[in-house]
Amino acid sequence: MSAGIELNGLNGSKQKITAEAHAALDAALRGGTALEGEPGYAEASEIWNAMHRRKPALVIRALGTSDIQAAVNFARSNGLRMSVRAGGHQIAGLAVEDGTLMLDLSLMRSVTVDPAARSAQVGPGAILGDVDRETQVHGLALPVGVNSTTGISGLTLGGGFGWITRKYGMTIDNLLSAEVVTADGAILRASETENPDLFWAIRGGGGNFGVVSSFEFRLHPVGPEVLSGLVIHPLDAAEDLLPKFRELCAKAPDELTIWSVLRKAPPLPFLPEDWHGREVLIFAACYSGDMSEGENAMRELRALGSPIVDVIGPHPFVGWQAAFDPLLTPGARNYWKSRDFLTLEDATISAILKAVKTLPDPQCEVFIAHVGGAMARVAPNATAFPQRDSHFTMNVHTRWDSADQDGACIAWARALFDATAAGAAPSVYVNFMPDDEPDRLGEAYGDNLARLREVKARYDPSNLFRVNHNIQPQEAAAAAQ
């Protein structure tokens, strides 16, 4: 046990925690605490994006709601900054901060499915692969993201979209309730009928309003196989094919999702070796309905141009959900810039193609997701997440290994971001925002930001939960203007 710990305080100063206070906290926890060098510390403080290697002063490893409540009470009563880590996959790296108290939820990975009710209770430390595997045992699924190692907490609190969003909505559209520990240590149930303002805010508003200790989701019949896969073309064909991709997305049924990826071809086993490392356009598609109907729905996509390979076919849904994992492994340096487009204009396509011809690292890519369908039939003010129009989301995913490449890779991403400004919508997906975009909070929430600040003032007036894409309480936000 320590002889005392110095931690970051809420007011910017350092706060000293005595050895006795640390011992009392540790004794009150099921999961316990960890200091640097102690068991569990390195595992808890390690996150996906290697650009954010930081050292918290003290880690609380929660095993249940009581541990979360104890952590919140300890942080509040001692005036401490506190970060919250669940999956540790957020691009901005805000789960961990040097010298700060960290609440680690990664051990709380339970997933309990009620197949009759088509619902699931999910712990805040679960990753998407946990959810996919447990729900698919029953032929059910939750709309989540496309990397199975992403945490369910961050994904959900920011919105959540993926391969079956067009059919069944966003992750937040399928949230039935949540247990939330708020800044005063209260344990509240948030749903449409209980604390509905809190329920509204956590569906897109991030971790600004409390710590979710359990999620309850609605599930849908999917799989166990879906028609899915890749169609890969030379990049030289992209100028002709991307406008056709735009047209296919506009008329696609809800069951069909088609996304584009532009990058240097990885060494995929089904891709001819002479194409490895060369620039390609990849169409990734998934049909979440009847297989024969899916064959018809994908016919036009598969007839485009002269592809290098076409590997669309029946795949286990769990496998398809993890198909991009090899390109998103932890330990690399990552920086993202993102834009939304209501339509993919020709000038936007030209800017993207020009940039892809100068990729600063073979791991870099431009990802263009199309969402709409069920998620677009929800009112913009129904949840904190406001961008409900059918739209394209571009993620400039810059990825590399050496810190020596930081300048070149970040500059490349920012240049493409600037080059696509003219055709962009005034919105951004908060889960794609890096740590250097605090000025884009208004784009992330639009007209919902004012209400979010009101809810923040109600549940967290002192802004205890601030190590995030922070929404300030109404009064503090007004004072800062």
Residues 404 and 320 both lie in one domain: yes
Collapsing DSSP to helix, strand or coil, 438 comes out as helix
Nearest-angstrom CA–CA distance, 452 and 466: 14
Residues 431 and 373 both lie in one domain: yes
Whether 451 is in a domain gets the answer no
Residues 233 and 247 both lie in one domain: yes
Angstrom CA distances, 402 to 22, 278, 331, 361, 399, stand at 38, 21, 11, 10, 10
Residue with tokens 């929660």: 62
Q: Could you say which of 221, 251, 282 is where a domain stops? A: 221
Residues 126 and 98 both lie in one domain: no
Domain containing 427 equals: 226-439
Residues 385, 386, 389, CA angle at the centre, nearest 5°?
A: 125
Domain with residue 141: its CATH number is: 3.30.465.10
Q: Could you say which of 221, 256, 290 is where a domain stops? A: 221
Whether 208 is in a domain gets the answer yes
Q: Are strands 14-17 and 175-181 parallel, antiparallel or unpaired?
A: unpaired
Nearest-angstrom CA–CA distance, 63 and 125: 10
Residues 330 and 234 both lie in one domain: yes
Residues 78 and 164 both lie in one domain: no
Whether 449 is in a domain gets the answer no
Closest CA to 170 of 434, 366, 429: 429
Residues 414 and 432 both lie in one domain: yes
Whether 145 is in a domain gets the answer yes
Counting the structural domains of the chain, the total is 3
Give the pLDDT of residue 475: 77
Whether 148 is in a domain gets the answer yes
Count CB-CB contacts under 10 A for residue 205: 29
Give the pLDDT of residue 161: 98
The b/e string for 42-63 (b: 16+ C-beta within 10 A; e otherwise) is eebbebbbbbbeeebbbbbbbb
Give the pLDDT of residue 481: 53
Whether 462 is in a domain gets the answer no
Residues 305 and 401 both lie in one domain: yes
Residue with tokens 């024969």: 292
Give the pLDDT of residue 280: 98
Domain with residue 56: its CATH number is: 3.30.43.10
Residues 249 and 140 both lie in one domain: no
Cut 0.85: pTM above it:
yes
Residues 431, 436, 439, CA angle at the centre, nearest 5°?
A: 85
Asked if 172 and 216 touch (Cβ cutoff 8 Å), the reply is no
Domain with residue 331: its CATH number is: 3.40.462.20
Residues 292 and 400 both lie in one domain: yes
Give the pLDDT of residue 209: 98
Whether 284 is in a domain gets the answer yes
To the nearest 10°, the Cα dihedral for 202, 204, 208, 212?
Answer: 40
Residues 295 and 178 both lie in one domain: no
Residues 186 and 262 both lie in one domain: no
Asked if 432 and 393 touch (Cβ cutoff 8 Å), the reply is yes
Q: Could you say which of 185, 202, 221 is where a domain stops? A: 221
Whether 447 is in a domain gets the answer no
Give me the tens of pLDDT residue by residue for the chain, a chain 481 residues long: 567 899 999 989 999 999 999 999 999 999 999 999 999 999 999 999 999 999 999 999 999 999 999 999 999 999 999 999 999 999 999 999 999 999 999 999 999 999 999 999 999 999 999 999 999 999 999 999 999 999 999 999 999 999 999 999 999 999 999 999 999 999 999 999 999 999 999 999 999 999 999 999 999 999 999 999 999 999 999 999 999 999 999 999 999 999 999 999 999 999 999 999 999 999 999 999 999 999 999 999 999 999 999 999 999 999 999 999 999 999 999 999 999 999 999 999 999 999 999 999 999 999 999 999 999 999 999 999 999 999 999 999 999 999 999 999 999 999 999 999 999 999 999 999 999 999 999 999 999 999 999 999 999 999 999 999 999 998 765 565 5
